[in-house]
Every structure is written in C-alpha cells, then in structure tokens.
Amino acid sequence: MTGTQIHTAPPRSRGGRGSTPVSGHARSALRALAASWRRVRAALLLHCGLRLAGIALVGAWGHRKGLGLYEILATRWDSVYYLNIAEHGYSGHMVPACQLGGPTCKLAFFPLYPALIRAVRAATGLPVGWAAWGAALADSLFAAWGIFAVAEKLHGARVALFTVALYAVVPHALVQSMAYTEPVFTALAAWALYAVLTRAWLTAGTLALLAGATRPSGLAVIAAVTLGAAWHLWSTTGGRSAEPLRLPGGHAPGRPRARLYGAVALAPLGWIAFVLWVGHRMRRWDGYFVEQRLWGSTLDGGTFTIQRLRDLFTQPQLSLDYVVVAATVITAVVLLASLALRRPPLSVWIYAAALVLITVGGAGFFHAKARFLLPAFPLLFPLATALARARTTTVYAVLTGTAIASALYSGYLTMVWTHSP
C-alpha cells in the first residue's frame, strides 16, 4: 500500500561549516515545526470554530438545567476514574464505588493521562479537575495539528484542511473537549504516524510507547510503528526499493538499522509494562484481561457487534445514540475499504484498520464504539479528498450542516443520554 504520494517540503540549506550533525538535525526539526505551524494555523482556527459551536450549544443547554460546562465536560462518566487515579493512585478507594469491575476497577484505566493530570496540577496549581480538562483541551489542539501534518504529507494542504474540519464535526466530536483520554491518545497517534512518514523512527517508537500507556487501543499505534519499521527495513534492504534512509534536512543517519530496531523495541513497552504491572497487582499473569472481563469488555471476533447491528432491523424502538453508533460503525468499515483502495502508506492503513478491528471485534459497550473510533482519523481522508474537489457552495453546505448536526447531537449525549458518550 504505497500508492499515496507523499508531499515533501523543498530542500533547505544545511547550515554553517561549524554545525554538527546533531545541531543540524535539531535546527532542521525546529524549522520544520515552525513552518508546519504557519501552515496549520488556518486549519486550527476552522477546527476551533466548528468545535466551539458544539461546546456553546452544550453550555447553553446545560445552563438551562443548572449545569456548567466544567461539570458537564470534566467531572462525569469516565473522567471520574481518571481524576480519582490522579489524586489517589490505583490503591485508593474509588468514590463513588464502581458499578462494574469490582474493587480493582481502576486497574482497567491506563496510567499516562492521570500522570499528565498530576504533572499539569503540579506545574500550574490548578485543581485536579481543571488540570485534567485543560490537559485534554490542549491535547485536542495538538491532535488536530498532528492530523493536519499527516494529511498534508499524504494529500496536500487543502485535503489536510478539510480533514481537520471533518474531525471537528464527527458524531462524537464532543469527546475531544472532555476530560477523556481520546484527545491525548489521538495527539500521540497522529504525531507517531507523522514520525513514521518522515522516517524519524526513534520519535515514532517513543510516541507509540506513550500511546500504549494511554489506552488499550494503543496496540493500533504499536502495530503501525513496528510493522511500518519492519516493512521499511525489508523494502530498503530486500531489493524492493532503492530509497535511501535520510533524516529531515537531508542528513543521512549513521546507523539507520539501529534506529529502526530501536523503534520496534520501544513501541510496545508502555502497553506491555502496564499489563504486566496489573498482572503483578492481581497476582496472576492475565490480571489485566480478567479486569477487562469484569467490566464486560472482551474480544469475540465481532459477534456482539453484528448482533447489535441486527437490532436495527428487529427492534424499532432504539435510542438515537444506538442508531448513530451503528451508522458510525458501518461507515467506518466502508471508509476503511475506500482508504485501502487509495493505497496509503502501510503504517497509516494498519493504524486505521487496527482501530476498526479492535472496535468491531470487541464485545460490550456498544454505545461507546463511535467514541472508540474517534482517533481513526485516516478514515476521513476519502471524505476530505472529495470535499477538497467540491464547489465552494457545497463545502459551506456540508460543513454548516454537519456542524449543526454535531452540535445538536453533542447536546443529546450530555443532556439526554444517560451513559458515557
């Protein structure tokens, strides 16, 4: 899957005679980052504008019910667990008591986001809830930036703009503004994919390590980085490609294979370390998976999902959330097939396919499956490409209509729906 053309920036000068390779690499990275920021600003403004529409509607709806935005977006549902872990660790009692998962229920939640909350609270002095919400909001911007960077690398700036815009108005986009792990995870995943595309292998491995310590679906990032590195190693040494390994700025690394092996070694460490630690805490090697079963979350190859999709045709009295989630899951499968036909880089397709596989193949929490698919932003590339080719009037109509629908649905999820988004 290498049919997608990767857009590259024009070559830049290497610097003065006295520059060392390390300093040259650092300057190249900083220049690339600054240039990326200049290009992404308009997309981020559009993204924020579309997101603010949904937040404003939720705020107005909540105000009528005597609820503030902070209470709605930072102190409910799964946020409660992350706040409790950030304040009391995994050993402290859970208040309120867990309805699922038993006394060890907090062990189902990965540690990076609570650690980030503690770090923000220590640095700013904010209460734990505000630290959690602030970290999530900041990471949602880094996620949008990373999505833009990946889309621009593959399809150019215009498609990248519309990818970021569509990401702001997907059905469960409100989660991007909540004290949840999705903003953090998506930011790490997007920049990990960008690092793979730019052959910054150690950076990709490190980001995959962090993503693996953020959510169970970190496996998708791990697979993208490790298999992407393995494919690149094979294609550059097995005769399929004569492409030289080079770092941004034109510098050839001294030990390209070592960087590739380093990425493969680093990527799974975060996920593995937490699973082993939970096993140690529960005094059985499969402790993490036991905890997941207590929560009702297992892998069944898609049987549960297919049964719930059948309910669309056999149970006419279904909630709006049920219908939207079912439509999102079906659309994700169709978009994954469409993405495959466009032959994206292998790591990009593996990441999207792994997220879809984990979501569809998992049993339990059908109402949350659209949220689980939120980080699968490469699925938006076919839609963004079509939008980039559309007339201006069509673009305005699509973005306005989807923004309104997304805002109304955000209000429904927080004010009407009684479960986690």
pLDDT tens digit string along 336-356?
999 999 999 999 999 999 999
- Report yes or no: 364 and 296 within 8 Å, Cβ to Cβ: yes
In a domain, 104, yes or no: yes
Secondary structure class of 50 (helix, strand, coil): helix
Domain containing 162 equals: 40-415
Give exposure, 348-381, as e/b (b: 16+ Cβ within 10 Å). bbbbbbbbbbbbbebbbbbbbbbbbbbbbbbbbb
In a domain, 45, yes or no: yes
CA distance 96 to 396: 45
Share of the chain above pLDDT 90, in %: 67
The stretches of 283-378 forming alpha helices (DSSP H) are 287-294, 303-314, 320-341, 346-361, 369-372
CA distance 407 to 60: 11
Whether 17 shows a pLDDT value over 60: the answer reads no
pTM: 0.89
Q: What angle do CA 285, 291, 296 make, to 5 degrees?
A: 135
In a domain, 32, yes or no: no
Name residues whose C-beta falls within 8 Å of residue 412's C-beta, 6 or more positions apart in sequence.
Answer: 320, 321
- What pLDDT, in 10s, does the model give residues 53-101? 999 999 999 999 989 999 999 998 889 999 999 998 988 777 666 777 7
Look up tokens 């669309």; give the residue.
312
- What pLDDT, in 10s, does the model give residues 143-197? 999 999 999 999 999 999 999 999 999 999 999 999 999 999 999 999 999 999 9
In a domain, 14, yes or no: no
Side-chain-side CA neighbours of residue 344 (13 Å): 29
- What pLDDT, in 10s, does the model give residues 219-262? 999 999 999 998 888 877 764 443 444 444 444 444 678 889 99
Whether 112 shows a pLDDT value over 90: the answer reads yes
Q: CB atoms < 10 A from the CB of 248, how many?
A: 17
In a domain, 16, yes or no: no
Secondary structure letter of residue 102 according to DSSP: G
In a domain, 176, yes or no: yes
In a domain, 291, yes or no: yes
Calculate mean pLDDT across residues 28-39: 77
pLDDT of residue 173: 94
How many domains would you assign to the chain? 1
In a domain, 44, yes or no: yes
- Report yes or no: 119 and 349 within 8 Å, Cβ to Cβ: no
CA distance 356 to 353: 5
